[in-house]
Amino acid sequence: MTFSLRVGISLKVKRRILEMQKNGGKKKKKCKRIGVTIGKYETFHERQSQYYYGVLIRKEYLVSHREEKNEMAAESSSAAVAVSPMTAEELTLTVKWSGKEYTVRVCGDDTVGELKRRICEVTRVLPKRQKLLYPKVGSKLADETLLLSQIPLKSSFKMTMIGTVEDDIIVDQVESPDIIDDFELGQEEAVDIKDKEINKQKLKRRVEQHKIELRNPCREGKKLLVLDIDYTLFDHRSTAENPLELMRPYLHEFLSAAYAEYDIMIWSATSMKWVELKMGQLGVLENPNYKITALLDHMAMITVQSDRYGVFDCKPLGLIWAHFPEFYSPKNTIMFDDLRRNFVMNPQNGLAIKPFRKAHVNRSNDQELMKLTQYLLAIADLDDLSVLDHKNWESFNEDNFKRRRHA
């Protein structure tokens, strides 16, 4: 049932309501008459029976009465015209933070995590720093995987966010996002997630909302290499006096060689500040031998739903393809990530890299980036990378090596 409560009640009607209230407010005849009067206003819903006229009037009266006493009530009633149930359609929420109000648009099939990302976009408060308060929902907003349709949100109430902007990001090893065990998605499961209409819609919305800023122009005729940071290029859990100690071996050699054939984008599930800081410290952003085309962060990710694994975040390459269709496509893009689920929306384009952990122990023997350089260069001439099964990249390298020896 959709009520339209805020009808801009006239003085005349108000007087009648007061009169009705004086008389006990129960006279059926008066209720009817007043109901008809309100019905003239355009927000009134024609199909509502006369019984509801009475309910409407009483509610309207209660709201306007409370307004005089209670500012909160005034705010909530004036903010909204209709109280609509959450659906897959967009809902506009007002979020109060630090004395200001911000508007965010979400959908019922978004998660709390996504709502926090939208709030982060306008406030710059990182999702992990946000605490959301909302009437009558208990602790539901603390669960980032919960769908917004499962929470009784109404556009009539304002949400309050408590949180602080991190101006000076301090390398915070304890709080930087940890790896939750990757799950091995079967091919069928991955296809199922990628083809789900709800997930496609989410990607579409992200494409509309998220702009990718280019640091360097896309180059004609180049393929695209998309790289994760944590555990792919950098061991973010170990401690060191100098971040270079945590860098995966051969990083600059790898990027320099790849750059000959590929544009390079770096996409991390952390925040842009962290991405810029980390890549800057490692000397990736100002290297004379290669250029980084773009940096992407958690804001570019989407949350997808899977019957088996629930909701989780991933990095949809479709976002990049939609923004630069003249340069990049499923045919010429490859992505390295230590988490396979990150490329669930484009399983044919992902290569699950062996994670680089315990840098102090492993940096003397980790050769992954060297070996992957060979692979990248070996496949660079192919017209369509999506026909490859990147799971077999190591044997592709061996075969390629043998072919060249025999040639």
User: Where on the chain is the footprint of Mg ion (CB under 5 A)?
Assistant: 228, 230-231, 338
Residue nearest to Mg ion (CB): 230
Cα(93)–Cα(91) distance, rounded to whole angstroms?
Answer: 6
Least CB distance to Mg ion at residue 290 (A): 21
What is the DSSP annotation of 82-100? B-----SSEEEEEEEETTE
CA neighbor of 302 nearest in space, from 287, 288, 294, 312: 312
Paired with 336 in beta bridges are 227, 351
Residue closer to Mg ion by CB (options 12, 354) is 354
Residue in 319, 347, 322 with CA at minimum distance from that of residue 335: 347
CB of 61 to Mg ion, least distance (A): 57
Beta bridge partners of 4: 82
Residue of 386, 351, 345 lying closest to 203 (CA atoms): 345
Of 224 and 352, the one with the shorter C-beta distance to Mg ion is: 352
4: Cβ–Cβ under 8 A, 6 or more apart, which residues? 43, 44, 45, 81, 82
Nearest to 311 by CA among 214, 180, 217: 180
Closest approach of Cβ 338 to Mg ion, in Å? Answer: 4
Q: Please identify, using beta-carbon distances, which residue of 338 and 368 lies nearer to Mg ion.
A: 338
HSE-CB of 168 using CA atoms within 13 angstroms? 1
Residue 78's contacts (CB-CB under 8 Å, 6 or more residues apart) are 6
**The sheet that has 90-97: what strands, in order across it?**
100-107, 90-97, 159-162, 131-133
50/173 with CB nearer Mg ion: 173
Residue matched to tokens 């917004």? 148
Minimum gap (Å) between residue 274 Cβ and Mg ion: 12
Output 54 or 249, the one with its CB closest to Mg ion: 249
Contact yes or no for 342/303 (Cβ under 8 A)? no
**CB 359, min distance to Mg ion, A:** 14
Here the tokens at position 261 are 């054939």
- Residue in this structure with the two tokens 């990710």, named with its chain if needed: 301
| Number of neighbouring beta carbons within 10 Å of residue 297 | 20
Cβ-based nearer residue to Mg ion, 109 or 235? 235
Q: Please, which residue, 196 or 357, has the CB nearer to Mg ion?
A: 357
CB of 262 to Mg ion, least distance (A): 19
Taking the complex as a whole, the smallest distance from the CB of residue 225 to Mg ion amounts, in Å, to: 15
The answer to whether the CB of 129 falls within 8 A of the CB of 168 is: no
Closest to Mg ion by CB, 230 or 263: 230
Residue 347 beta carbon to Mg ion: minimum distance, rounded to whole angstroms: 17
Q: How far is the CB of 356 from Mg ion (least distance, A)?
A: 9
Q: Which is nearer to Mg ion, 228 or 235 (CB)?
A: 228
